[in-house]
Amino acid sequence: MLSYRHAFHAGNHADVLKHYVLGLVLAYTVQKEKPYWYIDTHAGAGMYSLREGYATHNAEFEDGILKLINAKNLPKPLADYVAQVQSFNTGNLALYPGSPSIAELYLRADDRMRLFELHPNDYKILDENFRSFGKQVKIEMQNGFAGIKSCLPPPPRRAVVLIDPPYEDKQDYTHVVDMIKDSLRRFPTGTYIIWYPILQRGEPEEMVDSLKALNVPDWLHVSMSIHAPSAEGFGMHGSGLFIINPPWTLPSTLNETMAPLTELLALDETAHFTLESHIS
């Protein structure tokens, strides 16, 4: 199934949460001089136009990143994320960076990126966007569920892994758990960031419960809903991230910033966030 194109949703509330937290994790990772790998199992195109093409159909970015750009007195961590997005633009918001482009901002000379994208059109765009990086960035046209096995453990024994499948196939929820189990056997000390949508169906919650049941010593779970579920029972009304081996600083940063972020992105009075963690 290759019907999903992330460009339709670029810069929406789910992207904001995902890329804000990804930036926090990477900022912590590069505090150490030792090299690391960034691995993205479902990388997408890497950069998205908000002025033309898919993103203009529903203009989901208007209820996402644009609200943060127009906000005043943001907490510094959120302001830093907005500055990262703005660094890819000159003047008004025209481009939104996907996760590989956010990660690019933290890439040092000895660090490496390994990107997987199965959709041929998005793969082509991704390859063009990162061609100038040479061997530092390796891109493969395959599903990262399988491709990640060749990356673990990475030579520097340090890595941040983003798992962000489209979930258009409900089996993806099971694939995520199976992949995490295998990855932890290969590389137990990596930082794994699993994104998921909040829907009116049981699979996302079941996946999170299965991840908690792995009994890893350190994890963090954050979610944000921006409006009530639709009366028809369809659509995504929020999203979440389950992070294995998160930075020890992450719970306090999110505890300070999730309330203002949720308030900014709320579409009705039911908007809320959850934050739980176990850091040994």
CATH code at position 244: 3.40.50.150
Give a yes or no: residue 104 inside a domain.
Answer: yes
Note if 218 is an active site residue.
no
Q: Which residues span the domain enclosing 131?
A: 6-278
pLDDT score of 111: 98
What value does the CA radius of gyration of the chain take, rounded to a whole number of Å? 17
Q: Extract the runs of DSSP E, i.e. beta strands, from 178-252.
A: 191-198, 219-225, 238-244
Q: Is residue 207 a part of any domain in this protein?
A: yes
Q: Does residue 239 belong to any structural domain of this protein?
A: yes
Report residue 78 as tokens: 């959120």
Catalytic-labelled residue, pool 40, 164, 178, 268 = 164
pLDDT at 190: 98
Q: For residues 30 and 113, is the Cβ–Cβ distance under 8 A?
A: no
Say if CB 17 and CB 261 are below 8 A apart: yes
Whether residue 1 lies inside any domain: the answer is no
- Flag whether 194 is in a domain: yes
Residue 233 domain-assigned (yes or no): yes
How is residue 126 written in tokens? 């991704």
**Per the domain annotation, does 260 fall within a domain?**
yes
Structural domain count of the chain: 1
User: What pLDDT does 3 receive?
Assistant: 47
Task: Give 223's contacts (C-beta < 8 A, 6+ positions apart).
Answer: 198, 238, 239, 240, 241, 273, 274
Q: pLDDT of the chain along its 280 residues, tens only?
A: 444 556 778 999 999 999 999 999 999 999 999 999 999 999 999 999 998 765 566 789 999 999 999 999 999 999 999 999 999 999 889 999 999 999 999 999 999 999 999 999 999 999 999 999 999 999 999 999 999 999 999 999 999 999 999 998 899 999 999 999 999 999 999 999 999 999 988 999 999 999 999 999 999 999 999 999 987 877 899 999 999 999 999 999 999 999 999 999 999 999 999 999 998 8
Widest Cα–Cα separation across the chain: 51
- What is the structure's pLDDT at 57? 63
